[in-house]
Amino acid sequence: MRFPRTAAVVALIAGELATSSPAHTAVEQQIHLTARKFEYSPNQITLKEGTPVVLEIRSLDRKHGFSIPELGVRADVPAGKSVVVRFTPAKAGTFHFHCDVFCGSGHEGMEGTIVVEG
């Protein structure tokens, strides 16, 4: 009875499992952000360049927008719901985010800062 092919297949699968283990993938940074009339909380977020980000944004009152123009990130946040935004910051620096859906007389001040460390 011969098993050379079986041994080769097992070795191939073992090699695939070893290269796809969590130790070889970047760990996502998870951030929870709330939006409500005229403010985000937190309004300052620190990220790492090249590290994937999972940003969960929840509106506590009405529809809002979320925009980081310099990083190409944009989302609508429906009233009373959450959205998940995934991105990987490709450059270090300080970037501003803001609500881009008019939400009332204090809308212009609904903003925050993201610091991406290199």
What CATH code is carried by the domain that includes residue 99?
Answer: 2.60.40.420
> What's the pTM?
0.76
How confident is the model over 32-75, as pLDDT tens digits? 999 999 999 999 999 999 999 999 999 999 999 999 999 999 99
Please list the helix, strand and coil fractions of the chain in percent, rounded to the nearest 5, in that order: 20, 45, 35
Q: How confident is the model at residue 104 (pLDDT cuts 50, 70, 90)?
A: confident
- Residues in contact with 80: Cβ distance below 8 Å, sequence separation at least 6, in sequence order: 59, 60, 61
- Residues in contact with 6: Cβ distance below 8 Å, sequence separation at least 6, in sequence order: none
- Does the bond joining 42 to the residue before it have cis omega, within 30 degrees of 0? yes
Q: Does residue 8 lie in a domain region? A: no
Number of domains in the chain: 1
Residue-number span of the structural domain to which 88 is assigned: 26-117
